[in-house]
């Protein structure tokens, strides 16, 4: 049975962070996700106005992998609402909630297996801190000492993934910042 307290805390956290925005709770895509993450859901945060990002936030990873009340959930930001975004967060949740050696954290990369959206060169996700929303968004707390850390699935290219491996995470993130990438533009050019 899923931990309703964690799900409720996460939804309250999103409502506080994004006041006035519509937040749907939708199932992940069909497949084996329910075997690893019973009750898995995605909170879909609608844009406040045209041009804002759509956000897809996992709910259930914490329940399936938490240790001593501490665990991770993920979010993906996108330029539009699309089924592929649900597939992406479901896929990442399935991977993360598998064997312990598959746990994702900041700096890890995950192959998507296809272009992120459209014919994007971005075909991997970089697990990153949620820089656009800051540290208050990153940590969702509830109860005596439980918390979920919310990490960003940032679409990146294979060349950027290789650069991260060779030069390090900080070097890649510096390039993103220096070149002021639009992280939700499927057509953005690689920074390396």
Q: What is the pLDDT of residues 41-74, one digit of tens each?
A: 999 999 999 999 999 999 999 999 999 999 999 9
φ/ψ of 60, rounded to 5, equals 135, -20
Exposure of 16 by Cβ count < 10 A (0-12 exposed, 13-18 middle, 19+ buried)? exposed
What share of the chain has pLDDT > 90, as a percent?
Answer: 95
Is the per-residue pLDDT at 1 higher than 50? no
Is the per-residue pLDDT at 3 higher than 60? no
Which two structure tokens, joined as six digits, stand for 119? 């014919």
Alpha-carbon distance values, 140 to 56, 61, 104, 172, 180 (Å): 16, 13, 18, 27, 28
pLDDT score recorded for residue 5 = 85
pLDDT score recorded for residue 4 = 57
pLDDT score recorded for residue 11 = 97
82-92: per-residue pLDDT in tens?
999 999 999 99
């Amino acid at each position: 049975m899923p931990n309703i307290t964690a799900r409720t805390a996460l939804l309250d956290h999103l409502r506080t962070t994004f006041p006035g925005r519509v937040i749907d709770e939708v199932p992940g895509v069909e497949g084996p996700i329910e075997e690893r993450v019973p009750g898995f859901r995605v909170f879909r945060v609608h844009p406040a106005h045209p041009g804002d990002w759509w956000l897809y936030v996992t709910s259930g990873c914490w329940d399936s992998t938490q240790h001593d009340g501490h665990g991770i959930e993920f979010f993906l930001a996108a330029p539009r609402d699309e089924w592929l975004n649900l597939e992406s967060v479901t896929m990442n949740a399935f991977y993360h909630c598998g064997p312990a050696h598959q746990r994702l954290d900041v700096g890890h990369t995950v192959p998507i297996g296809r272009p992120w959206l459209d014919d994007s060169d971005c075909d991997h996700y970089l697990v990153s801190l949620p820089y656009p929303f800051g540290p208050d968004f990153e940590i969702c707390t509830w109860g005596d000492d439980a918390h979920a850390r919310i990490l960003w699935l940032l679409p990146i290219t294979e060349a950027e993934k290789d650069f991260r491996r060779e030069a390090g995470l900080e070097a890649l993130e510096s390039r993103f910042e220096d070149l002021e990438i639009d992280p939700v533009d499927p057509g953005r050019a690689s920074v390396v």
